[in-house]
Structure 1
Amino acid sequence: MDNEQKKIAVLFDFDGVVMDTEKQYSIFWHKIGVDYLSMDNLELLIKGQTLTYIYDNFFSGKEQELQKIAEQLDNFEQQMKYEYIPGVLDFIADLRKHDVKIAVVTSSNDKKMGAVYRACPEVKTLFDRILTAEMFTRSKPAPDCFLLGMEVFGTEPENTYVFEDSFNGLKAGMASGANVVGLATTNSRESIAPFCHYILNDFEGFTYKKMLEIRK
């Protein structure tokens, strides 16, 4: 393997990219928006955002409501179904065979990821690093989380591949300068096309070699 290959890093968002959970979250946050804010589109406004961002921007000063929402969210995440996006495990295994550094870069916090580990303990072993919301200040669409991923692995943007599904996440990937692959698991191919360099429906049949053919 040459030195250039050793510098390649792949940064995965988690929900809607590794795990097929976004539809469940959409239902949860839609109901929260209706019940607490009389909004019918909250779930669309917060995709890819940290919980801190959601609370600060939509529930500021509503301490009693926040306590109830936090309890509901905790119960919801303990009971969620965690199912892998088709083909993602094979793709990760192929990356491993080529010694690619891989990380999850998620807006989820440590508490949520704890629920994931209890349901799917193997998740911890799939990635070299799991970077969560506590590790960066600005939420997506700011590129901070992906820039941190590059810093951790010592890679450059041109050798970094970001896999995202939400608009905020895709914008963050583009702002980081990485090669951005959009997953049409949450939004349509047409709607995410302006925000990425390549689109996948899922990871079925996708390989390390095919990934390397994607360039900005």
Structure 2
Amino acid sequence: MAASVGENSVESKTTLAELAPLQAVLFDIDGTICDSDPLHHYAFREMLQEIGFNGGVPITEEFFVDHIAGKHNDDIAKSLFPDDIQRGLKFVDDKEAMFRRLASEQLKPVNGLYKVKKWIEDRGIKRAAVTNAPKANAELMISSLGLSDFFEALIVGSECEHAKPHPDPYLKALEIINVSKDHTFVFEDSVSGIKAGVAAGMPVVGIATRNPEHLLMEAKPVFLIKDYEDPKLWAALEELDKK
């Protein structure tokens, strides 16, 4: 059985308090500010079944986590269609169009998101969104959640030399909003995203919205939270405030 959220975090020596004075918070989008994975899973499952992928057997939650969640579309295309990359790229484009239709009607914020948004705004802390999602998806999700004026920058993996799990998107975010990695932390919900933030030299707070906790812990977040209402997060932010 997976450890309860945050139980394994003692192995990490960094606490958020060490970042004081805090300059910025960087957010992933899918699964981090909104619970979008069920919509992605649904779109992939329906469309893959339609073309007879896996003999027409619907993909499972495990398959989705292992091969799709948090990954860049180019890599998903190669993984699902190794013998026909062009077909794979066309497929993921069509799937994203289906996702946008679903998201425009069904997208919900992660619990407590607006509480942490207010905490950040009240302190004048800079913020950016950093994602492997296509730009059209990212902009739709941000605007659907009423966050267009909240984020000072949007960094998209495909516009960097390498997408997550490489550090490039997070390093670009630091550069664009002009802050130091020593005074910034990241919110992420996927293994590839946590790895990207850690590789960029920042502490990452992992959000266990969908992905298995033991897998997230292997990517070395400072701790895991269930959502933005988690007392563990607020204890850490309070400690940071005191500094």
Shorter-chain TM-score range: 0.7 to 0.9
Structure 1's 65 and 146: CA in aligned 2 closer, same or farther, altered over 3 A?
closer
- Compare relative contact order (CA 8 Å, sep 6+) and give the higher one, 1 or 2: 2
List aligned pairs for 1:149-188, cutoff 5 A: 149-188=173-212
> Quick one: structure 1 residues 69 and 45, their matched pair in 2 at CA, closer, same or farther if it must change by over 3 Å?
closer
C-alpha displacement at 1:73, in angstroms?
2.9
C-alpha separation in 2, matches of 1:209 and 1:133 = 28
Contact 2:186 2:203 (C-alpha < 8 Å) held by counterparts: yes
Instruction: State whether structure 2 residue 90 is matched by structure 1 residue 50.
Output: no
Shift of 1:68: 4.9
Please give the per-residue CA displacement for 1:48-78, whole angstroms capped at 9, x wherever unaligned. 2222332345436354564355334302322
2:99 pairs with 1:76: yes
Candidates 196, 209, 212, aligned match of 2:237: 209
- Map of 1:130 onto structure 2: 154
Letter in 1 for 2:94: E
Distance 1:24 1:130 in 2: 22
**Aligned amino acid, residue 85 of structure 1:** V
2:112–2:227 CA contact under 8 A, matched in 1: yes
The equivalent of 2:43 in structure 1 is 28
Segments of 5+ residues of structure 2 without an aligned counterpart are 1-19
Contact 2:78 2:88 in 1 (8 A): no
Of residues 187-196 and 8-17 in structure 1, the stretch that sits farther from structure 2 once superposed is 187-196
TM-score normalised by structure 1 residue count? 0.82
RMSD: 2.6
Q: Is the 8 A contact 2:77 2:88 kept in 1?
A: no
Residue type at the aligned position of 1:23:
P
Structure 2-normalised TM-score?
Answer: 0.74
Q: Partner letter of residue 67 of structure 1? A: K
Partner of residue 104, structure 1: 129
Q: Does 1:19 align with 2:42?
A: no
Runs of 4+ in 1 over 6 A off after TM superposition: none
Instruction: Measure, in 2, the Cα distance between the counterparts of 1:49 and 1:27.
Output: 16
Cα offset, 1:116, TM superposition: 2.7
Does the CA contact (< 8 Å) of 2:152 and 2:177 recur in 1?
A: no
More moved, 38-47 vs 160-169: 38-47
Equivalent position amino acid for 2:155 in 1: L
Q: Distance in 2 between matches of 1:128 and 1:42?
A: 31
